[in-house]
Chains A and B, each alone.
Chain A
Amino acid sequence: MPVKDYIRERFFPHLWCPGCGHGIVLNALIRAIEKLGLSKNEIAMVSGIGCSSRISGYVDFHTLHTIHGRALAFATGLKLGLPSLNVIVPMGDGDALAIGGNHFIHAARRNIEMTAIIMNNRIYGMTGGQYSPLSGYGTMATTAPFSNIDHDFDVVDLSIAAGATFVARTTTFHVHQLIDILQQAILHEGFSVVEVLSQCPTYFGRKNKMGSAADMMTHYKDQTTPIGSKAKKENPALIERGVFVQKEMPEYCKEYDKIIERAMGRSESTPIS
């Protein structure tokens, strides 16, 4: 199916700024879904608030645009109600890890089958460039005009510690890897986290003098390396990309079904007198 069959063309051109990485994530996500051969009716996309979360308005799947940080909570309810759906939850760095930090770690801990995509542009773009929990020490933001003193989360380490059973990271520069990782994440039977480094040339790029969108993507090319590469040993400052964790654990909806079965069995054997 051509790309235009997966989108709501009437809302294009989209609202994202010129060169915004979120558009590349949308592009890659559509291609991943096309390659998997999923029908539009099998997919539900649940998003919260922020630039990244607007992605759910542009795709022609079942979509829910919910409240800030709570996309995973809505998605958990949806998945438990209709476990056959492929649930995809695109979030921004602030949405996922500041406002929705608790929902995020607990969804990971439960291992409920869904795909959390963290589109990490290291800033709150929609509201004017405030620093986020992923901006990092020493960066500039509208609310940190003398540089940011907050340290950032490592999304991969955080997700692994919280118990996610599929954890990967890539960038908008590495589009082939992005498409491949998104396919693996969607197929994974458990909670999948995909961190995508996504450029915000308007706020993060401008505040930190990183140049154009293409310059920021070149930076991703230069500053990242495949997991366990020789380059990483020589330069520990490089950011690793690839699939960090992929393991099998009991999945939440399936475990819940077992509980229902157990409870039904018990009530039948011990009727209320």
Chain B
Amino acid sequence: MAKPKLKEHVINLDWCKGCGICIAFCPKSVLELDEKEKVVVARAKDCICCQLCELRCPDLAIKVEME
């Protein structure tokens, strides 16, 4: 199976509460918190599309869209 290729991370900033779970468990440290304590994509190129951020988000605020 071909490696999934990232299209984009869709983050719903109105729903994100900045708990940091997605950041803590991202195996590639793709995500960070910004000054407003909302999640932002810092290193999109490193994303391996494992979707663990999406599955562990308690706020249903992040979606990993693939090509």
Contacts and interface: CB of A to CB of B under 8 A. Distances in A.
Contacts of B56: 24, 27, 172-173, 175, 217
B21 A217 contact: yes
Interface residues of B, number: 19
B59 interface: yes
B60 A16 contact: no
A158 B25 CA distance: 33
A13 interface: yes
Interface string B29-64: 000000000000000000000001001111111010
A213 interface: yes
A214 interface: yes
Interface string B3-32: 000000000001101111101110000000
A28 B52 CA distance: 11
Q: Point out which of B57, B58, B59 has the most chain A C-beta atoms below 10 A from its C-beta.
A: B58
A13 B57 contact: no
A213 to B, nearest CB: 5
Nearest to B51: A175
A94 to B, nearest CB: 20
B57 to A, nearest CB: 6
Contact of A19 (B15, B21, B52): B21
Contact of A3 (B19, B24, B58, B60): B60
Contacts, number: 74
Contacts of A243: none
A175 B59 contact: no
Interface residues of A, number: 31
Given A28-B55, A31-B55, A213 B60 contact: no
B4 to A, nearest CB: 16
B60 A19 contact: no
Contacts of A27: 55-58, 60
Contact of A212 (B17, B20, B61): B20
Contacts of B59: 12-14, 23
16 contacts: A12-B15, A13-B15, A16-B58, A18-B18, A19-B17, A23-B58, A23-B59, A24-B56, A26-B58, A27-B56, A31-B55, A172-B56, A213-B19, A214-B24, A217-B56, A218-B24
Interface of A: 3-4, 7, 12-14, 16-24, 26-28, 30-31, 172-173, 175-176, 179, 201, 212-214, 217-218
Given A18-B19, A27-B57, 6 more contacts: A19-B17, A26-B58, A176-B55, A212-B24, A213-B20, A217-B21
